[in-house]
Amino acid sequence: MQLGNLLNLKSRTKFRLRLEVTIVAFSLLAFQVLLEKPSLLELLITLLALLWIAAGAREMKTRHEPFTRIQKRAVFTLDAFIFAVLLGALLIAVIETRTPLVWIAFGLFAVFLLTVLFIDYKQLYRSGNSA
């Protein structure tokens, strides 16, 4: 794949943009968690990923094509899977530390993720074309 094709967001469908932005954002979050001592190269990669996510989100807002039923299911399943992985990882960290403050943070984070998942469901299935 050429670099020009990677950066050409206008030729992609709304569905593909949504999947790519979600996967890159999750990968960036995982990358940041795994960093121990950020080097200049890692900070540059982070900056480039953030710029790509912003450009992808901006391009996604200009699209008004509706998702098909299968695409809606795929997007919602990917979001739910990523949220489950995040909650599972945080639960492992909570069990290892065993402090009340971390349990409170886990509960707040779980409520936040469930709220985001509910809003995503509402946007995908109730409002028709928007996502």
- Residue 86's identity, in one-letter code, is L
Going from N- to C-terminal start, the domains of the chain cover 1-65, 66-131
Angle at 7 between CA 57 and CA 121, to 5 degrees: 25
Q: Is the pLDDT of residue 131 over 50?
A: no
Q: Please state the rounded mean pLDDT for residues 40-47.
A: 88
Whole-number Cα distances in Å, 48 to 42, 44, 45, 55, 100: 10, 6, 5, 11, 37
User: Has this prediction a pTM greater than 0.75?
Assistant: yes
Backbone φ, ψ for residue 128 (5° rounding): 80, -95
What pLDDT does residue 6 have? 58
Summarised one tens digit per residue, pLDDT across range 100-124 is 888 898 999 999 999 999 998 998 8
Q: Which percentage of the chain shows pLDDT scores above 90?
A: 44
